[in-house]
Amino acid sequence: MNMRRPPGAGDPLETCVAHGEVFAERYQTVKQLGCGGTGQVYLARDMWLERPVALKVLSPHLSMDQAFVDRFRREAKATARLAHPNIVSIYDLGGDGRGCFMVMEYVDGPTLLRYGPLPPVRAARVAAQVADALGLAHQHGLIHRDVKPSNVLIGRSDQVKVTDFGIAGPVGASDDLVPTGWSMGTPTYLSPEQAVGGVVDQRSDIYSLGVVLYEMVTGVPPFAGDSPESIADQHVHCQPPRFSQLRPDLAAGLEAIVMTCLAKAPADRYQSAAEMRADLLRFAFDQETATGSEPTGEGEAVAATPAATIDGHGNGLPRGRYARPRHPHRRRIRTHAAEVGTPSGTTRRAVRSGLLVVLSAIPARAIRARQADSAEPCEKPGTS
């Protein structure tokens, strides 16, 4: 689900670059690959090195926003330092009268959006590669903030490439640092702390990857609604349907991993992408061993690694084979916007206040009109 473009953004079709245009006397456009809120992406040809590249051109109105351009350049430079086989490489950065542009590695393959539900082992291995990529970014103090299927490319031999760190930011930054009229992240994949405009860290990306993995194996995201505000509200207050309700054939181990990611309190999630990746590889190894398949990748080595971890309060978590929080719904999320716990009237008013910051593309009158008792039916924390 995409947010609406901010006022003055213009129609993407009116800002497309013509076929054959050349940028920086080097990059010649071949065809448009995609169009998003911040600009367009093209397949282009690097005429100097004679290789295909992906060219992202910022929308004209954003290219005129100096604060946005400065951030675009800053995060491009930060991402360019992330040398990892599962992260799309950035080759160049520039600008001219047509706007700012970024030149990236071209991945000849679709995004996860092109796939239906994946077999559990394949989904686990795809998610493990994403977690590996995010782990490196987190080590460099960079949070992606927009992990979603359209930002996960699948190349040959199922090699994953994570792309579009365009709204990435440093660990501990608030999610209200965004141009007026724009949202930070995509509602379907927002973490609860993003939804209320709170401070985020690596565990926010882990939550979003959990949403992606949930959708990879069930075919539907955990939360849906008729508005971005409705979806974001569910991320804060609701529990997703269990796998048994959607796909009873799925192994319980994978559900344990996903539900650990989707814990409302960051302290109840995996504390690092490396923890999540290790459990995904353990699960894949166990499933392949149980079915007599030849284990692939690093599963065998990881399977021998202890799974116990320490939570955010220094308490040992008896997670067993796959991580699962001890009390998944008892802790409450604390953010600068609100203390999010039970869906009380006070909490919902505070959450709405945060949503006005993060989801500012929604007319404020629509949010004010929403009544506290109008939330969509869902399983609330502490009611099961």
Q: What is the pLDDT of residue 31?
A: 94
- Name the E strands within 119-207: 142-143, 152-154, 160-162, 169-170
**For residue 177, what pLDDT band results from cuts at 50, 70 and 90?**
very low
Tell me the two tokens of residue 69: 């351009």
Q: Are 305 and 323 in contact (CB under 8 A)?
A: no
Q: What is the pLDDT of residue 284?
A: 95
The SS3 of residue 91 is: strand
Dihedral of CA atoms 333, 337, 338, 344 in degrees, nearest 10, equals -120
| Inside any domain, residue 1 | no
- Tell me 36's DSSP state: -
Whether residues 117 and 100 share a domain: the answer is: no
Whether residues 75 and 211 share a domain: the answer is: no
Q: What is the pLDDT of residue 86?
A: 96
Over residues 216-229, mean pLDDT: 93
Closest CA to 27 of 10, 50, 5, 7: 50
Q: What is the pLDDT of residue 166?
A: 53
Strand partners, 56: 41, 102
Q: Are 277 and 139 in contact (CB under 8 A)?
A: no
Residue 181 CA, distance from chain mean position: 20
Over residues 18-37, mean pLDDT: 89
90's enclosing H/E stretch is strand 90-96
Q: What is the pLDDT of residue 324?
A: 55
Strand partners, 102: 56, 93
Q: Which residues contact 145 (CB under 8 A, 6 or more apart)?
A: 167, 168, 169, 175, 184, 185, 194, 200, 204, 205
Closest CA to 175 of 151, 145, 149: 145
Residue 63 sits in a domain whose CATH number is 3.30.200.20
Q: For residue 352, is pLDDT > 50?
A: no
Q: For residue 225, is pLDDT > 70?
A: yes
Lowest mean pLDDT among 211-215, 344-348, 374-378, 379-383: 344-348
Q: What is the pLDDT of residue 248?
A: 87
Whether residues 261 and 135 share a domain: the answer is: yes
Residue 339 sits in a domain whose CATH number is 1.10.510.10
The DSSP string of 215-231 is HHHHSS-S---SSHHHH
- The tally of CA atoms less than 13 A away on the side-chain side of residue 43 is 9
Lowest mean pLDDT among 71-85, 162-176, 196-210, 349-363: 349-363
Distance in angstroms between the alpha carbons of the first and the last residue of the chain: 29
Q: For residue 92, is pLDDT > 90?
A: yes
Pairwise CA distance, residues 320 & 354, whole Å: 37
Q: Which residue has the higher pLDDT, 370 or 172?
A: 172
Whether residues 125 and 100 share a domain: the answer is: no
Q: For residue 130, is pLDDT > 90?
A: yes
Active-site pick, 70, 92, 132, 146 = 146
Question: Where is the domain boundary, 105, 129, 161?
Answer: 105
Q: What is the pLDDT of residue 171?
A: 55
Domain that holds residue 37: 12-105
Over residues 200-213, mean pLDDT: 96
Q: For residue 364, is pLDDT > 70?
A: no
Whether residues 198 and 283 share a domain: the answer is: yes
Over residues 320-332, mean pLDDT: 46
Pairwise CA distance, residues 197 & 368, whole Å: 17
Q: Are 72 and 100 in contact (CB under 8 A)?
A: yes
Instruction: Report the mean per-residue pLDDT for the chain.
Output: 76
Whether residues 346 and 210 share a domain: the answer is: yes
Whether residues 98 and 118 share a domain: the answer is: no
Query: What does the pLDDT look like over 280-293, one tens digit per residue?
Result: 999 999 999 988 77
Pairwise CA distance, residues 310 & 164, whole Å: 31
Count of domains in the chain?
A: 2
Question: Where is the domain boundary, 105, 133, 157?
Answer: 105
Tell me the two tokens of residue 138: 């987190």
Lowest mean pLDDT among 150-154, 236-240, 346-350: 346-350
pTM: 0.75
With the C-alpha atoms ordered 243, 221, 108, 101, is the resulting torsion angle positive or negative? Answer: negative
Residue 58 CA, distance from chain mean position: 21
Pairwise CA distance, residues 326 & 36, whole Å: 40
Pairwise CA distance, residues 319 & 259, whole Å: 12
Over residues 209-233, mean pLDDT: 94
Question: Where is the domain boundary, 48, 77, 105?
Answer: 105
Over residues 28-49, mean pLDDT: 90
Pairwise CA distance, residues 269 & 323, whole Å: 9
Whether residues 36 and 74 share a domain: the answer is: yes
The SS3 of residue 357 is: helix
Q: For residue 13, is pLDDT > 60?
A: no
Lowest mean pLDDT among 76-90, 241-255, 329-343: 329-343
Q: Is 146 a catalytic residue?
A: yes
